[in-house]
């Protein structure tokens, strides 16, 4: 399929390129494409892995062992084969390959077997999100291939370790040590996307992560059993409309609100409190963010939460990672270029639920230490 995608624009007189992780992986494709195009080939450079067609089209083939050698080229289409295996794929794509597509408004295909949760996985996630309209992604297990005997797949399942089979045959992205949240997929109620109406006698907790333009404001509601009943995400609307939306949802569920009150959030907090909403502010520091994220991670690992099937939320949870700072400290954050708004909103709702009331009030007159939340959370789970 990718060989045809590579050759098609060249038949129309345009330049294309194929990238493989190593020269050894490039060899078979080079032989195939050279043979297919032989009847219409004008010139071939074996040393440069370059084919010139009589149509004026050019096919270049490169190894990503040395991606910088590609700088200055212009392509109408690029194929990045087995992309998950490319060393420093993110830099190769952003600094070298993406600029080659600019002049001709070219496109790129990135086929690969998964290999953990690296930049290839993040690219796949972008393709699943409406936030990145220029990206699209598909996931197909080996069983979708009509030319492979199902008995061979079953034999592999019986012989291979589960993680290996799921990655190599089911095309699954297997968790690695860099992920913060475990048991995310297990917490999602597949197919449950509609918000649930409030039930009399139930307690609800609304977590709100605020944003104005670049990021998103997210509202997440949990009931006291840990079931997510509401999700809303929006951006580029006025503070007045955001306040009105939060007020509407809080009143609908009679929910206690825990809101990011850092910076611009403080006047929002005051406005909501002035409207009689049960609201507390959570101000973010490195330490308070770590406590919030750790609390959400524990809730997921302990199977305390049942989440709605919201792809953006699921993807942000799965992408959240540990990273090492230049000072050798470990911090938790979304990967570069991705959002974490749904993670923070859900974390705030889970924090409020585990606390059954404000946990650490950093805006307002009262304060409560994290130890108080831990003791109360233990009592709640015991009860």
Helix (H, G, I), strand (E, B) or coil at 194: coil
* Distance in angstroms (rounded) separating the CA atoms of residues 369 and 222: 22
Could you give all domains of the chain from N- to C-terminal order, each with its CATH number?
2-112 (3.40.50.300), 184-382 (3.30.420.240)
Q: What is the CA radius of gyration of the chain?
A: 25
- pLDDT value at residue 216: 87
Q: How many CB atoms sit inside 10 A of residue 237's CB? A: 13
- pLDDT value at residue 336: 66
Pick from 64, 106, 56, 61: which is nearest to 86 by CA?
64
* Distance in angstroms (rounded) separating the CA atoms of residues 252 and 101: 49
Answer positive or negative: Cα dihedral of 307, 311, 313, 316. Answer: positive
Dihedral pair phi/psi, residue 101, rounded to 5°: -95, -10
DSSP 127: H
Residue 276, sorted as left (phi over 0), alpha (psi -120 to 50) or beta, turns out to be: left
* Distance in angstroms (rounded) separating the CA atoms of residues 210 and 235: 9
- pLDDT value at residue 255: 95
* Distance in angstroms (rounded) separating the CA atoms of residues 1 and 145: 12
DSSP string, 322-335: EEE-TTS-EEEEPP
Reading the block at residue 47, the tokens are 């040393």
Residue 328, sorted as left (phi over 0), alpha (psi -120 to 50) or beta, turns out to be: left
* Distance in angstroms (rounded) separating the CA atoms of residues 1 and 20: 15
pLDDT per position in the chain (383 positions), as tens? 999 999 999 999 999 999 998 888 888 999 999 999 999 999 999 999 999 999 999 999 998 877 677 778 999 999 999 998 887 888 889 888 999 999 999 999 999 998 877 889 889 989 988 888 999 999 999 999 999 999 999 998 888 778 778 888 999 887 655 578 888 889 999 889 999 999 998 999 999 998 865 678 999 999 999 999 999 998 878 888 999 999 999 999 999 999 988 776 778 888 998 999 999 989 888 888 888 998 998 899 899 999 999 988 988 898 887 765 665 566 787 776 678 899 999 999 999 998 764 433 333 333 333 334 334 434 443 43
- pLDDT value at residue 147: 94
* Distance in angstroms (rounded) separating the CA atoms of residues 202 and 224: 7
* Distance in angstroms (rounded) separating the CA atoms of residues 65 and 376: 55
- pLDDT value at residue 178: 59
* Distance in angstroms (rounded) separating the CA atoms of residues 274 and 280: 12
């Amino acid at each position: 399929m990718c060989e045809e995608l590579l050759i098609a624009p060249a038949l129309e007189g345009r330049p294309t390129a194929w990238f493989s992780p190593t020269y050894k992986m490039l060899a078979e494709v080079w032989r195939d494409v050279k043979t297919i195009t032989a009847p219409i080939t004008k010139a071939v450079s074996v040393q440069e892995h370059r084919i010139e067609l009589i149509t004026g089209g050019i096919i270049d083939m490169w190894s990503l062992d040395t991606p910088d050698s590609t700088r200055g080229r212009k392509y109408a289409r690029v194929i990045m084969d087995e992309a998950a295996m490319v060393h420093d794929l993110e830099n190769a794509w952003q600094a070298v390959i993406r600029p080659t597509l600019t002049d001709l408004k070219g496109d790129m295909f990135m086929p690969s077997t998964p290999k953990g949760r690296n930049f290839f996985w993040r690219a796949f996630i972008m393709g699943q999100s409406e936030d990145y309209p220029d990206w699209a992604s598909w996931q197909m297990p080996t069983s979708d291939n009509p030319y492979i005997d199902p008995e061979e797949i079953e034999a592999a399942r019986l012989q291979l370790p589960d993680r290996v089979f799921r990655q190599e045959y089911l095309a699954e992205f297997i968790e690695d040590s860099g992920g913060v949240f475990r048991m995310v997929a297990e917490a999602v109620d597949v197919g449950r996307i509609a918000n649930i109406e409030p039930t009399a006698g139930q307690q609800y907790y609304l977590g709100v992560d605020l944003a104005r333009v670049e990021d998103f404001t997210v509202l997440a509601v949990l009931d006291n059993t840990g079931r997510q009943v509401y999700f809303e995400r929006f951006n580029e609307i006025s503070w007045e409309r955001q306040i009105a939306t939060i007020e509407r949802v809080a009143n609908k569920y009679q929910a206690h609100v825990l809101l990011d009150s850092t910076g611009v959030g403080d006047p929002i907090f005051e406005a909501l409190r002035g409207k009689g909403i049960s609201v507390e502010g959570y101000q973010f520091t490195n330490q308070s963010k770590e406590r919030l994220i750790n609390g959400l991670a524990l809730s997921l690992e302990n199977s305390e939460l049942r989440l709605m099937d919201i792809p953006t939320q699921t993807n942000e949870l799965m992408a959240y990672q540990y990273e090492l700072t230049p000072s050798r400290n470990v911090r938790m954050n979304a990967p570069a270029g991705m959002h974490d708004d749904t993670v923070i909103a859900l974390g705030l709702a889970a924090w409020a639920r585990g606390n059954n009331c404000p946990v650490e009030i950093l805006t307002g007159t009262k304060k409560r230490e994290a130890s108080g939340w831990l003791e109360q959370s233990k009592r709640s789970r015991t009860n």
